[in-house]
Amino acid sequence: MSIKSEMVETAKAAREASLKLANCNTAVKNNALLKMADGLLKNADTIKAANAKDLKTAEGKGLSKAMLDRLTITDKVLKTMADGIKEVANLPDPVGEITRMWKRPNGLLVGRMRIPLGVIGIIYEARPNVTADAAALCLKSGNAVILRGGSEAINSNLAIAKVLQDACKKEGVPDTAIQVIPTTEREAVLEMLKLEEYIDLIIPRGGEGLIRFVAENSRIPVIKHYKGVCHIFVDESADLDMAGKICLNAKVQRPGVCNAMESLLVHKNIAKEFLPRMGKKYQDVNVELRGCDETRKILPYAKPAAEEDWSAEYLDLILAVKVVKDMDEAIAHIAKYGSLHTESIITKDYSNSQRFLREVNSSTVLVNASTRFSDGFQLGLGAEIGISTTKIHAFGPMGLEELTTQKFIIYGDGQVRE
């Protein structure tokens, strides 16, 4: 069978499964999830053996230590995966919720009911835990999922999927609700991206290169973020102790993630007081600073920032620093160089806080808190399938609700159009 017809078969099977899954009740879905969690622990040896194959190939290819770490499945990793699935089982089921209902003058009752999207394609790299996380979120929200992981993790992903599918079967959920694409050919992705008849949404997760490839080749709607160039603006009225703690946390608590701060904007009226204190904190933990001219007058040890530093996503202990003359300049800088991901203002001024929240149209905008809170779990969504900087459908962290859409439901008693 050609790759094209294999993909069509996979997608058709997913579509059929999605129609059944859309009408599975919550208890059935939760039981399947609990069996999935259980299955991962019970089949630890099989999964680790498959993972060992992947690791051997990866070592042969000379993958970096960091990549190998992300690829490795230990008992602890399996425990975390199983716990994550159990958490999803405990979350409320969004499907069938009626979010609003109103009455029209002619007596029609009009409402909106949440339904699954249908079939979701997830294209991701490296970490095999995404296989379990994404499958659990899609199942709970009533969506069939087609998973396409990185070629480095193919054996691990197939082994995990086998366990998840067995759990589905035991609970009467179609096992084709969760499918991993067995081939590692790139052609499979290209074929998948054409199947808009069967697949409702594509979520790519990984490096910017992968995401651009998907976005440029897809006929199916794609929800994505390319990168997170997150800013903190320290206003002239900021509590500088608070600003210090937040700016340190946002940069160094976990520098390799998309909601870490990459650019720091400092109001000129407090720059001379704040920057030396902050610079010291950063020096203590080896953060490299790249500053504008004003910054470097105050912190001569900062490297000069080049134009590309203002839009860089370092994902590392590097920070671009700019002194701005006012809030207008800060907002304009964010509009020009930002990635619509996450921005925070540190301020004691009421109207500045309101203006920043209103005028910065990034997906998450904070006052007096670390950018690191831009995350589904942290914001109380219970789980996260990804973060969107596409303004369509979902903007910001996406939980179960964002994996649904709403249909109009209408109760009449014989109404016709005049």
Positions in 370-389 near a second copy (CB under 8 A) = 370, 372-374, 378-380
Write the CB contacts of 361 (distance below 8 Å, at least 6 apart in sequence).
Answer: 340
Question: Residue from 96, 183, 184, 297 that binds a second copy (CB under 8 A)?
Answer: 96
Q: Candidates 105-113, 184-192, 273-281, 310-318 — which segment interacts with a second copy by CB under 8 A?
A: 105-113
Q: How far apart are CA 218 and CA 200, in angstroms?
A: 11
Give the Å distances, CA to CA, from 342 to 241, 279, 285, 291, 389. 22, 23, 23, 21, 9
- Interacting residues with a second copy between 23 and 42 (CB under 8 A): 23
Decide if residue 415 touches a second copy (CB under 8 A): yes
Question: What string marks each residue from 252 to 291 as x (binds a second copy by CB under 8 A) or -?
Answer: -xx-------------------------------------
Q: Does 20 bind a second copy (CB under 8 A)?
A: no
- In sequence order, which residues have a C-beta less than 8 Å from that of residue 57 and are 6 or more positions away? 152
Element holding 21 (H helix, E strand)? helix 3-21
Residue span binding a second copy (CB under 8 A) among the ranges 63-71, 72-80, 114-122, 295-303 = 114-122
Q: Report if residue 364 touches a second copy, rule: CB under 8 A.
A: yes
Task: Choose which of 320, 363, 385, 399 interacts with a second copy (CB under 8 A).
Answer: 363
Query: Minimum distance between the CB of residue 107 and a second copy, rounded to whole angstroms?
Result: 9
Q: Which member of 3, 34, 113, 317 binds a second copy (CB under 8 A)?
A: 113
Give the length of the chain.
Answer: 418
Residue ranges in 285-325 assigned as alpha helix (H): 293-298
Q: 320: burial class by Cβ within 10 Å (0-12, 13-18, 19+)?
A: buried
Residue with Cβ nearer a second copy (117 or 266): 117
What does the alpha-carbon distance between residue 38 and residue 240 come to, in Å, rounded to a whole number? 49
The beta strands (E) that lie in 217-314 are given as 230-234, 261-267, 288-291, 303-304
**Quick one: which of 40, 246, 287, 327 contacts a second copy (CB under 8 A)?**
246
Judged by CB under 8 A, the stretch of 32-40, 193-201, 291-299, 321-329 that binds a second copy is 193-201
22 touches a second copy (CB under 8 A): yes
